[in-house]
A and B are shown apart, each in its own frame.
Chain A
Amino acid sequence: MTQLVIERLSASYGPAPVLVDVDLEVRRGEIVSLIGPSGSGKSTLLRVLVGLLVPAAGSVTVAGRPIDYRSRRELKAVRDRIAIVFQQYNLFQNMTALRNVTIAPTVVKRRPTAAVTSEAEALLAKVGLADKIKSYPDQLSGGQQQRVAIARALALKPEVLLLDEVTSALDPELVGEVLDTIRLLAGEGMTMLIVSHEMGFVREVADRVVFMADGRIVEVGPPEQIFDEPKAQRTREFVSRILRH
């Protein structure tokens, strides 16, 4: 079943177009990875989906319902279904790990604190941070912060999880723990759009890989196609450049 349909989506920052006529369908439970050079629009696509940038044209349909990103109400509804994890984690610096996870369910959804707290504790345990629930973001390593951010996104019970270069800001030895967490979610059938530069990881977890350049989708295919036998010249150049080192 189709979870997400993106049609002829365009967006711009001021006069500069950053997304041009993007078409993409994502099935429920599918893991789609977005790769491409920086400035190709991968992160922008995720920001548009979660309503942080209003699209200039095109349509997005989530679980069969078209979304009007100009409507506040629909924007709220779409954010109940789609959660995002950022490159810089963006944890609330003034709150403990636990509070970061519980704030949206308690304050936005007004669910009872006790239930939310035990769920949040379970989520933090799941990402391997049971002993860090009372720590503040600046007391945690980058990898730990990113795992808290993943737990925080999961607490929203999203249907689709967007991961925006979640390992790019991490020290190399911390990348593994975050990737393990994502593997865990992949095993549970979470629908994910993953922007990543970890090509080995993308090849391993992605059902399909989308190669983007200059705000457009250049090529879409299974990882074997994109990495081993890319059809487009632009993809070939990119893949040969990143796989060389």
Chain B
Amino acid sequence: MMSGIIAEIPEFFSYYNVIFLGKAFLYTTAMSFVGCTVGFAAGFGLAVMRHERIFRSFVLRWLAIIYTEIFRRIPFLVKLMCVFFAFQLLGADVSMFTVAVTTVALSAAAFASENVRAGLESVHHNQWDAAEAMNLGGLTALRRVVLPQAWRVIIPPSMTYSVGLVKSTSIASQIGVLELTYAAKVMTNKGFSAFLCYGTILVLYFVLCFSLNRFAAWLEERLDPTRHRAA
């Protein structure tokens, strides 16, 4: 069995197949990166919208809360289907890739919103009081006082979640998006050993997620307000 797999390797990594796998890897990466970036930005906006020291609008607050609470509780596959049919209902002719990216962004927004909220709450309210008493506006206080102290609470769970999302993108293969899992399926159907196909994407998923973790560690270090201190 093992010798059979080894014999397949040269053919498996043929020029065409490597391009195909590379493309799938790029799509998985792009789907994760664009989805997480857009989603994180939106989630950040939601968390700011619902913070009573920044905006005092009851409507904004409840819109943000309702969105966050609903989207955190729906399975990825269900969201994917809903987005797919929502685009169809709207009569929008979009690619499956767009459907998948949108789903990743919607999910990331809900989770990022919750992580950012937790981070903002972790900063003592007396920091807001002092800022307000000194006429620093809500957004200025957020940017200069509260966020620098909140990143250390926001980043670790957000990155854990992003890794989770990278893994969830494999579900997009269900609607026929070319990404790593879909590529493995295609290769298996072509007759290559499943062990080789899934083993290869396993390595690629690992590379992607591991890089993300390294990025998170770097970001955490960079945003640490104490990093310039003399020992």
Residue of A94, A95, A108, A136 touching B134 (CB-CB under 8 A): A108
Complex contact B133–A79 (CB within 8 A): yes
Within 8 Å of chain A (Cβ to Cβ): is B136? Answer: yes
Complex contact A50–B133 (CB within 8 A): yes
* Docked pose: A19 CA to B11 CA in angstroms: 83
Within 8 Å of chain B (Cβ to Cβ): is A91? Answer: yes
Q: Give the nearest-CB partner of A149 in chain B.
A: B130
Within 8 Å of chain A (Cβ to Cβ): is B160? Answer: no
**Taking A86-B126, A88-B126, A94-B225 as contacts, is the C-beta distance between A104 and B149 under 8 angstroms?**
no
- Interface of B (DSSP majority class): helix
User: Which of B25-33, B35-43, B140-148 lies at the interface with chain A?
Assistant: B140-148
Q: Give the nearest-CB partner of A156 in chain B.
A: B134
Residue of B126, B127, B144, B230 touching A107 (CB-CB under 8 A): B144
* Docked pose: A104 CA to B134 CA in angstroms: 6
Within 8 Å of chain A (Cβ to Cβ): is B52? Answer: no
Interface residues on B, range: 10 to 19
Give the chain A neighbours of B148 by CB distance below 8 A: 94
Give the chain A neighbours of B140 by CB distance below 8 A: 107-108
Give the chain A neighbours of B230 by CB distance below 8 A: 134
Complex contact B133–A52 (CB within 8 A): yes
Give the chain A neighbours of B144 by CB distance below 8 A: 92, 103, 107
Within 8 Å of chain A (Cβ to Cβ): is B135? Answer: yes
Give the chain A neighbours of B130 by CB distance below 8 A: 86, 90-92
- Shortest CB-to-CB span from B93 to chain A, Å, is 47
Interface string of B56-85 (1 = CB under 8 A from A): 000000000000000000000000000000
Complex contact A136–B136 (CB within 8 A): no
Complex contact A90–B127 (CB within 8 A): yes
Q: Give the nearest-CB partner of A46 in chain B.
A: B133
Within 8 Å of chain A (Cβ to Cβ): is B221? Answer: no
Within 8 Å of chain B (Cβ to Cβ): is A205? Answer: no
**Taking A76-B135, A94-B145 as contacts, is the C-beta distance between A136 and B126 under 8 angstroms?**
no
Give the chain A neighbours of B132 by CB distance below 8 A: 51-52
Residue of B127, B135, B226 touching A136 (CB-CB under 8 A): B226
Within 8 Å of chain A (Cβ to Cβ): is B129? Answer: yes
Give the chain B neighbours of A107 by CB distance below 8 A: 136, 140, 144
Complex contact B149–A93 (CB within 8 A): yes
Complex contact B129–A86 (CB within 8 A): yes
* Docked pose: A84 CA to B135 CA in angstroms: 12
Complex contact B135–A79 (CB within 8 A): yes
Within 8 Å of chain B (Cβ to Cβ): is A80? Answer: yes
* Docked pose: A138 CA to B127 CA in angstroms: 14
Q: Give the nearest-CB partner of A136 in chain B.
A: B229
- Shortest CB-to-CB span from B88 to chain A, Å, is 47
Complex contact A52–B134 (CB within 8 A): no
- Shortest CB-to-CB span from A54 to chain B, Å, is 11
Within 8 Å of chain B (Cβ to Cβ): is A83? Answer: yes
B 192-231 contacts with A by CB, 8 A: 225-226, 229-230
18 A-B residue pairings within 8 Å (CB atoms): A51-B132, A51-B133, A52-B129, A79-B134, A80-B135, A83-B133, A86-B126, A86-B129, A90-B126, A92-B144, A94-B225, A103-B134, A103-B144, A104-B136, A108-B135, A108-B140, A134-B230, A152-B134
Residues on A facing B (Cβ under 8 Å): 50-52, 76, 79-80, 83-84, 86, 88, 90-95, 103-104, 107-108, 134, 136, 139, 152, 156
Report the 5 A-B pairs with minimum CB-CB distance, sorted nearest first.
Answer: A94-B225, A90-B130, A94-B148, A104-B134, A90-B126
Question: A83-B134, A91-B130, A104-B134 known; 14 other A-B pairs, CB under 8 Å?
Answer: A50-B133, A52-B129, A52-B132, A84-B133, A88-B126, A92-B130, A93-B149, A93-B225, A103-B134, A103-B136, A104-B135, A107-B136, A107-B144, A156-B134
